[in-house]
Structure 1
Amino acid sequence: MLSVALRGQDVGDRPPIREAPDAPAAQLRTALSFAHDVFGQPQRQLRPGGEHHNKHHHRADKGQRAPDDVGHGTALDPTPLYTHFYHWVELADRAREPVKSPIRAAEPLYDIYAGRSEGMATAMEEVLMHAGLYDDNPRSREIVWIMLANRAARGLASLYVQSNDMSLDEAGKFHARWTPRKWSDPASDLVAFEQLLYLRQPGYGVSYVTGKLELDRLISEYAYDQEQRGAAFDLPEFFRILKEAGIVPFATINDETTQHGADARE
């Protein structure tokens, strides 16, 4: 229902979405400072700029249009995408502050934890939203929901391709049709690249959403355990535990840290 509501052009009495100029690096520093306050993560681990930062920004002064949902969202407010860059925080942690376990500290030979990595990055957009990062620009919340709807649509389309129920072309059209505000173009290079990538790596396309749901559940069960002990839920403490566990599946962390996990082991 959310996707259907946002996909329509009638936005009621809300002001129209403006096309914004290139966002200054100061917005990234603001997001990093906020993340530091909430999670205690060192700000030195990320820096503004870089190919990805520049490539996807909308340049209103040059009359260019941003590509698909990532470009549109970044143009209007880059902060949600910056929170997705938690990827780089985790990679920096692995290099500079590795966990105690030599097995978990080692870099896997290939990406076996797609749900853990993409789920974490996708969840960070919403976690920081609820923590108040976008309060000064409340319509940024729409960007978070639109990007999540896009990931759900492209992930489902990828499953249909893998089961031979859709061609790549049909998947691209499905992917775009269920992305709100027409922020996904089925004829774009980005949509074609994503659907081909997910065909080659089964499970990767849905990992953004399924991984996020696994983290949501872990947060919920950890918070419930704290409530049963008469303790308040502490978000920085939760992320400290998550960081110390290392880059491993959320189900493994659940087994190690929550009562639900302890019950499952018995």
Structure 2
Amino acid sequence: MIGSALARVRWELDINPRWKRDPNFYVAQTLTPVAEALTVPGPYDAARSGEILTRIENIPSILQQGVVNLDKPPAPFATVAIEGLENIRPRLRQIATALLKSTTLKEQDLNSAIDRAADALEHFREKLQEMLPSLPNETALGRDAYVFFLKYVALIPYSPEELLAMGKQEWNHAVAFEAFEKNRNKNAPPLKIADNVDDWIKDAAAKELQIRRFLEERGILTVPNWVGHYTLRPMPEYLSALQGFGEMDDFTSPSRLSENCIRYVTKPSGKLGYFWQATVEDPRPITVHEGIPGHYFQLCLSWKHDDPIRRHYYDSGANEGIGFYAEEMMLQGGLFDDSPHTREVIYNFMRLRALRVEVDVKLALGEFTLDQAAKYLQEKVPMDEQTARQEAIAFATGPGQAITYQIGKLQIIKFLADERMQQGEKFNLRSFHDFVWKNGNVPIALQKWELLGDASSLPK
């Protein structure tokens, strides 16, 4: 893991230097920290209010350095940043207006900081617009850089071509099984959208408890009583202004393990994006992936690990692999037996994760442009245009992340199969899962080496 962490440093500083080639890096370094501070539920005491103000006040200096650091960033990346910062001033003013009653900040101090931040963000956007005509169009890092990431950061023992083959096979599997499920369910009544936010929140809370009981009663995974709950909460107005600049959730932290996880949601409708349209009909798929037994639950277990090195991850391959694996684990375990169309949702999620492999690899190798990747996802998942574009942007600027779901899941499945064959009748599914989840920040190849003494999955 130390080697992976050190390789991550080289990756981010030298091989994929987003600080030098991606203007969105500076958007993420300025607005995302503000969003993250505001996902922690208010009202905010003096200390937290001061932290929020400090993060807003830091925006101008970070952007000033960004203008100096950027060296001919790809035009598509600059275009994304320009589009993302459109109308940023009224959005920031919305934060100031809505936030005052939830903080100890003085109105003048907050408004002044917001105005300076808006000035800096607009100036940064103008600079990018000036640069745009002279910027290169190529976004791809190239094969050598991508292979470095796979081998040394992610500890994935596969070539780009092998990844493509794995993704294609899983795509065929997902499409076929979705077709079987749809045919089976053609006379089943459709899922219903929650009537309002309160009903959505209550439904999610009841089903979260159902999932916890299901895991324990079926002997799938141990659920300690100290782990908090995955909850939904109405999105505050001051946070809604920052949608698109960070995840609208609070997974707590190693120092806040006694608190519940929060996912902020907006009013239910039939016009939500891909993931949230599915969630407003049945909250269980997203709960399973990012709540329990997914990300929040896994992070809580790992944050309490005896080994401090294992309390943090340096590549999300194991984490996202667990999140995706959990979906199919719960599907095969019978959680969704009561909801035919929810099973279709799970299979459609599988289609997306398989396609992400192809999109990730081809963006990195220069075989897809950003626009081509977005169109491909929109048509083949299928999904809404906005979500498809957001996905393509994230994968183009952060190569190697989109493969983590599918490849991580496949690594866990192989790990389970090898453990099952080695243990024979002594194999215990709960014990296996407890080990994987507790060590969920550790690359799967290293977990397998530790548990089975098998280093064959490590890159050569």
TM-score of the pair, normalised by structure 2: 0.48
Residue identity matched to 1:216: I
Deviation of 1:174 after TM superposition, in Å, equals: 0.8
Residues matched between the structures, number: 244
**2:336–2:343: 8 Å Cα contact kept in structure 1?**
yes
**2:370–2:392: 8 Å Cα contact kept in structure 1?**
yes
2:350 aligned residue: 148
CA distance in 2, matches of 1:262, 1:224: 16
Structure 2 residue 91 is the aligned partner of structure 1 residue 91? no
Structure 2 residue 436 is the aligned partner of structure 1 residue 242? yes
Aligned counterparts, 1:56-75, within 5 A: 59=268, 63-68=269-274, 70-75=275-280
1:142-198 CA-partner distances (Å, limit 9, x unpaired): 21111011122133123222222222111111112221xx3x02x31x222221111
1:12-66 CA-partner distances (Å, limit 9, x unpaired): 743353342154121122123323443112253223114554437x72xxx4422
2:420 aligned residue: 223
Residue identity matched to 1:150: L
Deviation of 1:262 after TM superposition, in Å, equals: 6.7
Structure 2 residue 307 is the aligned partner of structure 1 residue 101? yes
**1:126–1:144: 8 Å Cα contact kept in structure 2?**
yes
Choose from 344, 361, 365 the match for 1:159.
361
**1:122–1:212: 8 Å Cα contact kept in structure 2?**
yes
**1:45–1:88: 8 Å Cα contact kept in structure 2?**
no
Residue identity matched to 1:55: V
2:400 aligned residue: 203
| Max Rg structure | 2
**2:318–2:440: 8 Å Cα contact kept in structure 1?**
no
Higher relative contact order (CA 8 A, sep 6+): 1
TM-score of the pair, normalised by structure 1: 0.80
Structure 1, unaligned runs of 5 or more: none
CA distance in 2, matches of 1:246, 1:152: 21
1:32 aligned residue: 212
Residue identity matched to 2:278: G
1:49 aligned residue: 232
2:341 aligned residue: 139
Q: CA 1:170 to 1:19, structure 2 compared with 1: closer, same or farther past 3 Å? A: farther
CA distance in 1, matches of 2:232, 2:179: 31
CA distance in 2, matches of 1:4, 1:139: 15
CA distance in 2, matches of 1:141, 1:3: 13
Q: Which moved more, 1:209-218 or 1:125-134?
A: 125-134
Deviation of 1:209 after TM superposition, in Å, equals: 0.3
**1:36–1:42: 8 Å Cα contact kept in structure 2?**
no
CA distance in 2, matches of 1:205, 1:262: 25
Choose from 173, 191, 196 the match for 1:18.
191
Residue identity matched to 1:41: V
CA distance in 2, matches of 1:246, 1:15: 37
Choose from 313, 328, 332 the match for 1:126.
328
**1:119–1:211: 8 Å Cα contact kept in structure 2?**
yes
Q: Give the secondary structure class of the aligned counterpart of 2:403.
A: helix
Structure 2, unaligned runs of 5 or more: 1-171, 234-247, 250-262
CA distance in 2, matches of 1:177, 1:234: 41
CA distance in 1, matches of 2:371, 2:457: 43
CA distance in 2, matches of 1:193, 1:92: 28
Choose from 178, 183, 208 the match for 2:380.
178
CA distance in 1, matches of 2:405, 2:211: 21
CA distance in 2, matches of 1:199, 1:102: 32
Deviation of 1:263 after TM superposition, in Å, equals: 7.9
1:76 aligned residue: 281
**1:116–1:250: 8 Å Cα contact kept in structure 2?**
yes
CA distance in 1, matches of 2:271, 2:370: 25
Q: Give the secondary structure class of the aligned counterpart of 1:39.
A: coil
1:124-145 CA-partner distances (Å, limit 9, x unpaired): 0111222221122233222111
Q: CA 1:11 to 1:54, structure 2 compared with 1: closer, same or farther past 3 Å? A: farther
Residue identity matched to 1:33: R
Choose from 415, 425, 445 the match for 1:251.
445
**2:327–2:346: 8 Å Cα contact kept in structure 1?**
yes
Q: Give the secondary structure class of the aligned counterpart of 2:231.
A: coil
Q: CA 1:64 to 1:76, structure 2 compared with 1: closer, same or farther past 3 Å? A: closer
Deviation of 1:67 after TM superposition, in Å, equals: 0.7
Residue identity matched to 2:363: V
1:235-265 CA-partner distances (Å, limit 9, x unpaired): 1111222245452011111112226x17889
